């Protein structure tokens, strides 16, 4: 029997998995997607909040401040990109000044250290690019920025190393409570129904946590997906802090902030989404971001934008986190309603839930490994890099030019504890394709490496989720008739004759003739002549590539 079954592998589920791996327990994580951190965790602001915003006495206040401290420690142990740069909540008038005083008092009540109320002169000295209309600010030096999906992946990798099992592509469809308070959990994997018997369930299903709850008893809350759209700008800005405006009933508002990798992120909007899977972006949303962000920083250079994306928050009709066991099923424990500051709070919540597992014998795992040896070559000294190249020449071959990611790092990620098997899963782990060109140059080579390391055909390499194929088929020109005959009819059908006829002669002139004959007009229009010249000749002669990307940079 399983001791603890965790449903979901976002930041809450991954934090819980690592915390449980400190004990001699049989722990299983079920995740419906083909990778971890694929929900709210992959597409948010990445802010580690200081803790002045939640009302004193709430679970958000309790866990935020503690979580802030834990993430500071975890980032160092697990080699996760994190910067404690501090935050500024800026005000423009006397009403804002009074609001900032309330936030200051709230922060003191919550135990936030080193808060300061700043005058106009003091805040402009800290952040010179702010609007001259700023009159005051609340400064919280313990706020920081982290790469949320990299933190999540590091936590789960560490949990797996310490004995936790994870099964991807396992969607939970039913939960049956047993007489002894245990559960039979049914999941679907590749059309097959599989059952697991577990003593405890931890519901960390994010946007779907209400639906998981309803499998045990009808919940008193409902997840309301709330969409936030963002600009992600290239590196090279001069913003030093996380910049908020005074919060409103709609949330913390539009922020301007460096990321943990020194890009600039601007957003988000706060719009009720059409569905839990609605990640669409809108012109009206981006116009709104520009208008409101200009009140903070009037000279943001949106021409440096390299990515737009959206993520969904799990809002509920309860103005707090929903944490703890059900009265009717004490072995079913919720981690639900994880809106902001959910990222900041997740490790502290996991720490607290351990004490709710009253029927388990919590024997410490003496072999627990609390760190992750990881070297980022783009941050290494020349001597350290050369030493690694001497041991493995793949570390001397740059694949992603923008982020200086080597083939050795890509191979390591493909064979990591929770393997990266798609283009986007590599992007989340090591940032291959996250730079200025957004994979325009490195994607073909990344596809080739994935295919080689997983021993699969190019056509089976995925961009991200299941069925997100990138390659269509081999082109017939330049290969033997025998090879051409081997192209499966199923693959050939992916390009209709109508699509083939739509390839314009204008577009095809700018692309290798070998490629243009095998791709759709949509794709050919999206590949510039500059990009096509950067595709390796070996790949370009064999494949046609539909360029694409995930709303996660």
Active site amino acids: 49
- Angstrom distance (rounded) from CA 297 to CA 295: 6
Give the three-state DSSP class for 254. Answer: coil
The two three-digit tokens of residue 541, written as one number: 């002669």
Which stretches does DSSP call E strand in 73-134?
Answer: 82-83, 87-91, 116-119
Cβ–Cβ < 8 Å for 224, 231: no
In which residue are the tokens 């059309």 written?
Answer: 191
Angle between helices 342-353 and 11-20 (to 10 degrees): 30
Phi-psi label, residue 342: left if phi above 0, alpha if psi -120 to 50, beta otherwise: alpha
- Angstrom distance (rounded) from CA 204 to CA 148: 16
- Angstrom distance (rounded) from CA 140 to CA 161: 36
DSSP state of 364: B
Angle at 392 between CA 390 and CA 398, to 5 degrees: 100
Cβ–Cβ < 8 Å for 503, 520: yes
Task: Please list the residues that pair with 194 across neighbouring strands.
Answer: 187
Indicate the helix (H) or strand (E) that contains 72.
helix 59-78
Specify the pairing of strand 2-7 against strand 192-203. parallel
DSSP annotation string for 371-434: ------GGGS-HHHHHHHHHH-GGGG-EEETTTTEEHHHHHHHHTSSS---BHHHHHHHH-TT-
The 10 Å CB-count burial string (b at 16+, else e) for 284-314 is ebbebbeebbebbbeebeeebbbbbbbbbbb
Task: Please list the residues that pair with 183 across neighbouring strands.
Answer: 177, 198
The two three-digit tokens of residue 219, written as one number: 């919940």
Q: Considering only CA atoms, which of 443, 428, 445 is closest in space to residue 551?
A: 428
- Angstrom distance (rounded) from CA 29 to CA 20: 11
Cβ–Cβ < 8 Å for 333, 202: yes
Specify the pairing of strand 165-167 against strand 27-30. parallel
Which stretches does DSSP call E strand in 391-545?
Answer: 398-400, 405-406, 471-474, 543-545
């Amino acid at each position: 029997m399983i001791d603890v079954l965790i449903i979901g592998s976002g930041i809450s589920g991954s934090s819980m998995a690592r915390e449980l791996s400190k004990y001699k327990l049989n722990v299983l994580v079920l995740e419906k997607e083909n990778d971890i951190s694929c929900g709210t965790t992959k597409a948010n602001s990445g802010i580690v909040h200081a803790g002045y915003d939640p009302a004193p006495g709430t679970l958000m206040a309790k866990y935020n401040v503690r979580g802030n401290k834990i993430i500071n420690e975890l980032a160092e142990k697990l080699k996760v990109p994190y910067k404690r740069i501090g935050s500024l909540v800026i005000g423009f008038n006397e009403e804002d000044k009074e609001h900032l005083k309330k936030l200051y008092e709230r922060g003191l009540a919550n135990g936030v250290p080193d808060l300061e109320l700043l005058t106009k002169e003091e805040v402009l000295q800290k952040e010179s690019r702010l609007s001259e209309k700023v009159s005051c600010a609340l400064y919280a030096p313990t706020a920081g920025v982290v790469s949320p999906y990299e933190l999540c992946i590091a936590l789960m990798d560490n949990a797996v190393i310490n004995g936790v099992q994870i099964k991807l592509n396992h969607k939970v469809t039913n939960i049956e409570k047993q007489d002894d308070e245990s559960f039979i959990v049914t999941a679907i994997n590749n059309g097959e129904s599989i059952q697991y018997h577990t003593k405890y369930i931890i519901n960390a299903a994010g946007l779907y946590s209400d639906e998981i709850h309803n499998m045990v008893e009808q919940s008193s809350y409902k997840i309301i997906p709330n969409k936030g759209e963002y600009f992600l700008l290239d590196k090279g800005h001069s913003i030093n802090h996380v910049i908020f405006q005074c919060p409103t009933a709609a949330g913390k508002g539009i922020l301007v902030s460096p990321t943990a990798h020194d890009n600039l992120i601007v957003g988000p909007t706060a719009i009720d989404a059409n569905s839990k899977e609605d990640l669409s972006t809108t012109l009206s949303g981006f116009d709104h971001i520009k208008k409101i962000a200009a009140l903070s920083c009037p000279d943001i250079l949106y021409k440096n934008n390299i990515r737009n994306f959206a993520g969904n928050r799990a809002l509920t009709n309860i103005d707090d986190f929903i944490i703890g066991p059900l009265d009717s099923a004490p072995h079913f424990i919720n981690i639900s309603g994880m809106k902001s500051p959910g990222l900041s709070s997740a490790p502290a919540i996991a720490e607290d839930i351990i004490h709710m597992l009253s029927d388990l014998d919590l024997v410490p795992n003496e072999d627990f490994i609390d760190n992750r040896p990881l070297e980022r070559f783009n941050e290494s000294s020349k001597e350290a890099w050369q030493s690694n190249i001497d041991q493995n020449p793949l570390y001397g071959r740059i694949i992603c030019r923008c982020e200086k990611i080597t083939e050795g790092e890509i191979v390591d990620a493909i064979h990591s504890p929770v393997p990266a098997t798609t283009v986007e899963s590599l992007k989340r782990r090591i940032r291959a394709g996250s730079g200025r060109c957004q994979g325009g140059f490195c994607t073909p080579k990344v596809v080739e490496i994935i295919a080689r390391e997983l021993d699969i055909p190019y056509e089976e390499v995925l961009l991200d989720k299941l069925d997100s194929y990138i390659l269509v088929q081999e082109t017939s020109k330049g290969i033997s008739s025998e090879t051409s005959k081997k192209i499966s009819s199923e693959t050939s059908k992916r390009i209709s004759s109508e699509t083939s006829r739509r390839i314009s002669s204008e577009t095809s002139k700018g692309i290798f003739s070998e490629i243009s004959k095998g791709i759709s007009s949509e794709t050919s229009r999206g590949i510039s002549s500059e990009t096509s010249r950067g595709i390796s000749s070996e790949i370009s002669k064999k494949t046609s590539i539909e360029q694409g990307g995930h709303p996660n940079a």
